[in-house]
Amino acid sequence: MEGVDHLADERKKAEFNVEAMKIVWAGSQHNLEVSNRISKLVADDPAFRKDDRTMLPRKELFKNTLRKAAYAWKRINELRLSEEEASKLRFYVDETAYTDLHWGMFIPAIKGQGTDEQQRKWLPLAYKMQIIGCYAQTELGHGSNVQGLETTATFDPHTDEFVIHSPTLTSSKWWPGGLGKVSTHAVTYARLIIDGKDHGVHGFIVQLRSLEDHRPLPGITVGDIGMKFGNGAYNTMDNGVLRFDHVRIPRNQMLMKVSQVTREGKYKQSDVPRQLVYGTMVYVRQRIVADASCYLSRAVCIATRYSAVRRQFGSQNGGPETQVIDYKTQQSRLFPLLASAYAFRFVGEWLEWLYTDVMQRLQANDFSTLPEAHACTAGLKSLTTSVTADGIEECRKLCGGHGYLCTSGLPELFAVYVPACTYEGDNIVLLLQVARFLMKTVSQIGTGKQPVGTIAYMGRIEHLMQCRCNVQRGFAELSADLVEAAVAHCQLIVVSKFIEKLQQDIPGEGVKQQLEALCGIYYLSLLHKHQGDFLATSYLTPKQSALANDQLRALYSKVRPNAIALVDAFNYSDHFLSSILGRYDGNVYPKLYEAAWKDPLNESVVPDGYHEYVRPLLKQQLHTARL
Ligand SMILES: CCCCC/C=C\C/C=C\C/C=C\C/C=C\C/C=C\CCCCC(=O)SCCNC(=O)CCNC(=O)[C@H](O)C(C)(C)COP(=O)(O)OP(=O)(O)OC[C@H]1O[C@@H](n2cnc3c(N)ncnc32)[C@H](O)[C@@H]1OP(=O)(O)O
Ligand SMILES: Cc1cc2nc3c(=O)[nH]c(=O)nc-3n(C[C@H](O)[C@H](O)[C@H](O)COP(=O)(O)OP(=O)(O)OC[C@H]3O[C@@H](n4cnc5c(N)ncnc54)[C@H](O)[C@@H]3O)c2cc1C
């Protein structure tokens, strides 16, 4: 019934202060206040309706996204929202759009790789959205292998310009978000050629479209690459294709913080690692880790609430059937994901600190922690997106048949999220970077260099110090195993950051105890999943492994009465969740039934096509039957 909280009894079971946990999840009282205010602003505004997304044809869907983005920008300016509030608003609007790449990559690329002069020229235009930018790095033929990119930027000393060109079909820029139909400019990555010498990949600001009539400029061929996975989902984004036919740009549009080209055509590499040209990707990877906890927690919230509502089997003497959340199989699938959502939240907080620290060190030309920052952002992006993508699918399955309905919110959540395993670095390619970092650490141990930070534990691998093995040999042969080692390394980081979080002062009755239980579920579920490795290496005895599994089941029982309260602490509105199964009030069945009749297919009792395609069959069948 309307107005009844069907989960009230579940909420009464909570053994901790939910309001205090909301502050832990939000990060601070201030963050919680801003989240509440902006979430309500979006939820209460019909302009931000999103329940129709999966039913709109692409052109209408895309135009609707443009409308929302423009309206959001209007509201941001009308309400004079801060950058923090504006970012929250885009988060709660919950629709991928060209603005993600404008704010999330184009501007950071100029801030990270542009000189002060270039920042003074371009950032004010970008902040006012007088230009709209994208990040054009990936090509049809190369994405993972950045050093394999083919687009060229040839310096012309006669005109003090670069000539940007797409020499082959495979050099076509392919995938950049916002490129297909909207962006007026791009940070474009191309091979810097001076006097016939290839200096490798650098970033260039290139205008793509006229600011007068939005038509592509001379030499520019640009468009959308077509429909992507799922209805709605990432089809609100105009991922594009772009070709250059000898497009000329001024020399001062090469991003020159890391390296420069003088008027005379002399190439100067600052005494900084060339990998700083990859800095924007590092920034986005750390953002993606924080974002993974948001996506995973949304799916877990839906699945947990529905698991408490859904009853199936187990009726005793005509009494109510069993809540499926009480089945140990349901708990063993759901609660590790609940624990992972909290774990990723905390490791995301730490990674943001690490990234900020590295950026501050770079200001002082201190590059000592750059390798660790690269390994951590790459590895944690890979781990958290893989677990989150698989976790959203598992949450769909945890909801049975109704999880497959669009009104559950889970199919679109999955479709919009899964590319996170690929973009900003294919997850395996990134794990190989972590493996390379681990192997380099091993080789340095042999020289007496003690590892610090997240690899300090490797200093205790005594036997490797004796082996003097040539770690370079066999990397390709052992890469699949090394990737597993990289995953384990990242999982250790997540566990250690969860434990460090628990060592902080955590206010609120029962809050710390719940987080301790979730931390236990996180590491014990990993230990259970990988117990073969621990047994094979004698790190665990069979008895210890059995004890760990017993403790894991005991923790499921400890978390069970608190499960609804733990997902309430995510503080998601029904509008944001956009899920009938995940409704705060648990009023699922009436709302599912109500929603079914709103489907366009039910606008007519007899479907379009009946008379042309069904009736003739039936009549034919009737005729045959009479024979
Ligand atoms: C709808 C779902 C919404 C989710 C939204 C998610 C986030 C939103 C949250 C907030 C929004 C804000 C920001 C985000 C905005 C938008 C996000 C939305 C969508 C995302 C769009 C995605 C955009 C893209 O995909 S951009 C293109 C990404 N491409 C890649 O990642 C390419 C991957 N490849 C590489 O990085 C490199 O090719 C490489 C694999 C690292 C190899 O490089 P190479 O130069 O060949 O180097 P090599 O391997 O030889 O190593 C040499 C040496 O360098 C070190 N190294 C390598 N890279 C780095 C680095 N980055 N930093 C530091 N050091 C590095 C390496 O370790 C070696 O060192 P050593 O010699 O061993 O010592
Ligand atoms: C939704 C979406 C949005 C995107 N947005 C942007 C954007 O805005 N800007 C942009 O520039 N790009 C963007 N991209 C492109 C994205 O960054 C690339 O697709 C990504 O980096 C993966 O590269 P790839 O496609 O070349 O994969 P590939 O490298 O071709 O991967 C194919 C397979 O090869 C494997 N593989 C590759 N190299 C190795 C290796 N050395 N060892 C072992 N296995 C290997 C991979 O693991 C994978 O299994 C986007 C992509 C998507 C899907």
Ligand 2 pocket residue status of 279, Cβ below 6 Å = no
Please give the Cα distance from 108 to 110 (Å, whole number): 5
Ligand nearest the Cα atom of residue 476: 2
Least confident of 140-144, 446-450, 553-557: 446-450
Any atom of ligand 1 within 6 Å of the Cβ of 272? no
Mutate to test the pocket of ligand 2, among 145, 236, 423 (most ligand atoms within 8 A of CB): 423
- Give the pTM: 0.96
The CB of 107 under 6 Å from ligand 1? The reply is no
Q: What is the pLDDT of residues 343-385, one digit of tens each?
A: 999 999 999 999 999 999 988 889 999 999 999 999 999 999 9
Cβ–ligand 2 distance for 423 under 6 Å, the answer yes
Q: What is the pLDDT of residue 233?
A: 86
The DSSP bridge pattern shows strands 197-207 and 152-156 to be unpaired
Report the alpha-carbon distance of residue 337 to residue 330 in Å, rounded: 11
Q: What pLDDT, on the 0 to 100 scale, is given for residue 366? A: 92
214 by DSSP, 3-state: which? Answer: coil
Distance between CA atoms of 525 and 182, rounded to whole angstroms? 45
Instruction: Determine contact, residues 303/336, Cβ cutoff 8 Å.
Output: no
Model confidence at 462: pLDDT above 60: no
Rg (alpha carbons) of the chain, rounded to whole number: 27
Ligand 2 atom with the smallest distance to the CA of 189 is: 11
DSSP 223: E
Distance 141 CA to ligand 1 centre (A): 17
DSSP letter, residue 611: I
Which DSSP string do the residues of 92-160 spell out, in sequence order?
HHT---HHHHIIIIIHHHHHHHS-HHHHHHHHHHHHTTSS-EEEE--BSS-SS-GGG---EEEEETTTT
Domain assignments of the chain as residue spans, ordered by start: 134-270
Just list the catalytic residues: 424
Q: pLDDT tens digits for 6-60?
A: 999 999 999 999 999 999 999 999 999 999 999 999 999 999 999 888 889 999 9
Please compute the mean of the pLDDT values over residues 310-335 and round it to a whole number: 96
Which ligand has its closest atom nearest to the C-alpha of 146? Answer: 1
- DSSP-derived secondary structure for 241-302: EEEESSEEEEGGGB--SSEEE-TT--EEE-SS-GGGGGHHHHHHHHHHHHHHHHHHHHHHHH
Q: What is the CATH number of domain 134-270?
A: 2.40.110.10
User: What secondary structure does DSSP assign to 358-420, as a single string?
Assistant: HHHHHHTT--TTHHHHHHHHHHHHHHHHHHHHHHHHHHHHHTGGGGGSGGGSHHHHHHHHGGG
Residues 53/236, Cβ–Cβ less than 8 Å: yes
Query: What's the confidence (pLDDT) of residue 467?
Result: 54
| Close Cβ partners of 432 (under 8 Å, ≥ 6 residues apart) | 479, 482, 483, 486
Contact predicate 578/50, CB 8 Å? yes
In this predicted model, what pLDDT tens digit does every residue of 465-517 receive, in sequence order?
555 566 566 888 899 999 999 999 999 999 999 999 999 999 999 999 999 99
Q: Which ligand has the shortest distance to the CA of 186?
A: 2
pLDDT in tens, 434-453: 999 998 888 888 777 888 88
219: region left, alpha or beta (phi > 0 left; psi from -120 to 50 alpha): left
Q: Give the Å distance between the CA of 168 and the centre of ligand 2.
A: 19
At 89, list the tokens: 């608003």
Q: Residue 424 CA: which ligand 2 atom is closest?
A: 17
Whose Cα sits closest to atom 69 in ligand 1?
371
Q: Are strands 240-244 and 173-174 parallel, antiparallel or unpaired?
A: antiparallel
- Mean pLDDT value of segment 290-300: 97
- Farthest CA pair distance, the chain: 93
Phi, psi of 267 (to 5 degrees): -90, 125
Q: What is the pLDDT of residue 452?
A: 85
First to last CA, the chain: 53
- Tokens 């290139």 -> residue: 206
The DSSP H or E segment spanning 501 is: helix 479-502
The two three-digit tokens of residue 116, written as one number: 């002060």
